[in-house]
Structure 1
């Protein structure tokens, strides 16, 4: 029996369905909520008592989308500068990288460009990159302009999402979108449409605004 921790499955969950392993790394400054997002996604909870990550931590969870089981291996990296040398060990073989910033801290957003540059230089070809504005439950204290952040991500060929690890807003949608984008990219490759293109067009993809009212397919989740 599959444990349900979210919406119903999109499509039919069949036995012996294809599986796809997806390594995803979390990058970003100290105390932006990387660990809290992974905990919310995998365990469905938010811990008020913050414990900083030392080095890197690992969690896993599966999503079912388009009759494929996407098996996520989530690598949560420490945000302190002294641990930055460990980050390439997680993102060099990753299918996707989620760069998280705190919408109430401008310096955390300023660091996003550093990680984008690192991923473009050292990351694998075709890696999906997401820029995540976390802590939208603190909207009243926002200092990072939403439009600026979204346009910045788009100019860098990255997806942009807003999340709240505390309330859960946008977290499942973000991972659902990751499945959708990977499925689209794989389909394009199989149909010979991508050639040497290394990124998926994000102009029509879901973003933080679309999460609040746009059309959304559904998925089923389980912890592994």
Structure 2
């Protein structure tokens, strides 16, 4: 796990919290591992509760720390993970393109997300496991239609082959940056008497030991 309080020698301009949501075993943890560490594990276990990792990258000459939260997809953990939508500025809605049911559940996950998150949150629909072409159960057109109807981004990815993973995260983070930087420009016209803008340049997230629970148990996730 990355050090939340690391990068002491590096000026961080923004911290963006992004949540990964979707059914269990659609590959959320593998997408995160591929993006954050460029790793893929063939025997990944089911995520219990919530885990997160960070990755620092440059957008428009600004240093952005992406804090990606991986939420367990199992039904019994949904009441626990709902609290972790708080403060999120981006979300990846992940389904497995070989499992129609995981796509059919996207409307419910999106409804839950919008019920807990900021209304301006940047959302991308992710059709994962596009390497399993012969097993496809969700036509690209169906996902595109859903994304267009709900006004969210859409991309097909493969954590195994590293297809579009970095592009998907970078697209979301760049859009978040575009929205936040516009707000910063607007806030410059509303300085306090000391000449300081009231807008924070990032989000400080306080993490308790309970929230850092990373216990794992058996189960397969692609």
What's the TM-score bracket when you normalise by the shorter of the two chains? Answer: 0.7 to 0.9
Structure label with greater radius of gyration: 2
Q: List per-residue Cα deviations over 1:40-79 (Å, max 9, x = no partner).
A: 1111111001211011111111111101111011110111
Cα displacement string for residues 92-151 of structure 1 (whole angstroms, at most 9, x for unaligned residues): 210111110000000000111001111222211311111110001101211101011012
User: Can you give the 5+ residue segments of structure 2 that lack an aligned partner in the other structure?
Assistant: 1-8, 187-222
2: CA distance, partners of 1:181 / 1:105: 29
What is the CA distance between 1:17 and its match in structure 2?
5.5
Q: Give the aligned partner of residue 182 of structure 1.
A: 176
Does structure 1 residue 91 correspond to structure 2 residue 91? no
Give the drift of 1:191.
5.4
Please tell me the root mean square deviation across aligned C-alpha atoms, in Å. Answer: 1.6
Instruction: Name the count of aligned residue pairs.
Output: 178
What is the TM-score when the length of structure 1 is the normalising length? 0.75
Unaligned runs of 5+ in 1: 1-14, 193-224
Which of 44, 48, 52 matches 1:54?
Answer: 48
2:74 pairs with one of 69, 80, 85: 80
- The residue that corresponds to 2:161 in the other structure is 167
Where in structure 2 are the equivalents of 1:26-65 lying within 5 Å? 26-65=20-59
Per-residue CA deviations over 1:1-56 (Å, capped at 9, x if unaligned) read: xxxxxxxxxxxxxx966510011111100100000000111111110012110111
TM-score, with length taken from structure 2? 0.76
